[in-house]
Structure 1
Amino acid sequence: MSAVARDGDPRVARISAAIRVVPDFPKPGIRFRDVTTLLLDHQSFKDTIDILVEKYKDKNIDVVAGIEARGFIFGPPIALAIGAKFVPMRKPRKLPGEVIGEEYTLEYGTDRIELHVGAVQPGERVLLIDDLIATGGTLRAAISLLERVGAQVAECACVIGLRDLKGQERLGSKPLFILVECEH
């Protein structure tokens, strides 16, 4: 996996090297980017969080919304560090109580994402976090869901971007920050 050092930041190469590529998972032809190996490398995991905190600490973010499941790993430490609340966006039937949801298409199937009613208030500025953007379906669904409740999605951030799948194009004009870009 190749990494582009953002503004000459040497941490990005270390982060990229810590991400394992698993061929043919979850189905033949998919090269799965596994961030669990990044989590095993204390310094690379810390660097990932530090870079994202540095980027968003002065952006007046009210909510960090993490997409299940790996958005739950990166989102909470960022939210704590920048003084925002963390809101999980989950797969169906995982949140108790009243939820609102959005269906979407993945690179390898379809799914649905849900959010607790009242977790995000109209007008709140949201940073949307996930580990990876491929086709952009998950992020697009999350943006739509957040906008339906009146939130302003300030930016999306992903640790990994698969540039040749052009998922960023599905986000329209929403800003997207990708830490490590690679080919599918």
Structure 2
Amino acid sequence: MELANWISILMALIAVATAVVTYAVFRSATDPTVIVYAQPDLQRQSIINLIVENIGRGAAHGVYFQPSRPLPTNAFSINIPKDMPDQMQSGPIACGIPFLAPGQRLSITWGQYGGLYKYLGDEAIRIDTFCYRAHSKSLFSKKLKASSTLDIRMFETSESAEHGYGPNLVKELKAINLTLKSIDRQLQKRLQAPLV
């Protein structure tokens, strides 16, 4: 074989490899990626929410979850309770999600530290999330997978900072109090002033 033929074969292989890499980069930039994580609720002190979020750039279709063990639900107790919280039997994690748009997130009220720790203990839960691209209806549609880890111990020493309505209400009440004191001082001055 001549050198020109070898160069042609090499160039064809480079072109195929470039096309495969380009396609892989394109797919990774447009595929959905659905993750699950816990996050403190900034509006309700001491509440921890379970968040399901599509952090990918594509819409997810037929989303379902496979946790390494069942998740708790309504685990409300700041201190570790005597009774074990119930297992999650309903909601997006238990029943799946038909469609999740890019950037869309669902927030599930999960519980408080004590109740969640009673159920989860020192063992983290791994959640495998499976979905399909939104417009892949063919027989050869690729199932996409992402994994998340839930470990309640990360909230053990974190304080529930006051955010939301409570602190804003306190600030507003303090401002009203200052205004009322100023009005009271003005009235006192007028009452004490001699009548002309």
Asked if TM exceeds 0.5, the reply is no
Query: TM (normalized to structure 1)?
Result: 0.23
TM-score where L is the length of structure 2:
0.22
